[in-house]
Amino acid sequence: MPTPEQESAIDQQIANGRLINAIRLYRVATNASLPDAKNWVERRAASLQGTTPPPASDTSIFSVRKPAWSATGGGRTVIGLVILALVITIVFVVLRSNLIGAH
């Protein structure tokens, strides 16, 4: 946790709308990771404004990141590329067999 002086400096940055600076100050004060600092500053900003803070994202070491190809629509792209490769291969084999048979 930041000291009261550090927390005051962070609060001042939040009040001035400088959230990136607030995140930087929090990271320096606590040696926190970027996602943890971002979550803390967002929750702090919400509490200072009297609103409900956003839910903290899962930053635990047990969280599993999805590969890029599994993102929305990414799986369809991979399937489309595989189908395209198969079609090109089939066309190549058919054309090659026709050329060999023509000689």
Residues 9 and 36 grouped into a single domain: yes
Q: For residues 13, 19, 25 and 27, what is the CA-based torsion angle, rounded to 10 degrees?
A: 160
Report d(CA 79, CA 73) in Å as an integer. 10
Q: What is the pLDDT of residues 8-22, one digit of tens each?
A: 999 999 999 999 999
**90 in a structural domain:** yes
The total of other beta-carbon atoms located within 10 Å of residue 27's CB is 17
Q: What is the mean pLDDT of residues 41-63?
A: 70
The reported pLDDT for the residue numbered 58 is: 52
**9 in a structural domain:** yes
**27 in a structural domain:** yes
Residues 43 and 15 grouped into a single domain: yes
**10 in a structural domain:** yes
3-state secondary structure 13-57: HHHCCCHHHHHHHHHHHHCCCHHHHHHHHHHHHHHHHCCCCCCCC
**36 in a structural domain:** yes
47, two tokens:
């509490």
**58 in a structural domain:** no
**32 in a structural domain:** yes
Which residues form the domain of 83?
68-102
Residues 44 and 76 grouped into a single domain: no
Residues 9 and 44 grouped into a single domain: yes
> Is residue 60's pLDDT more than 60?
no
pTM: 0.51
**74 in a structural domain:** yes
Counting the structural domains of the chain, the total is 2
Residues 8 and 45 grouped into a single domain: yes
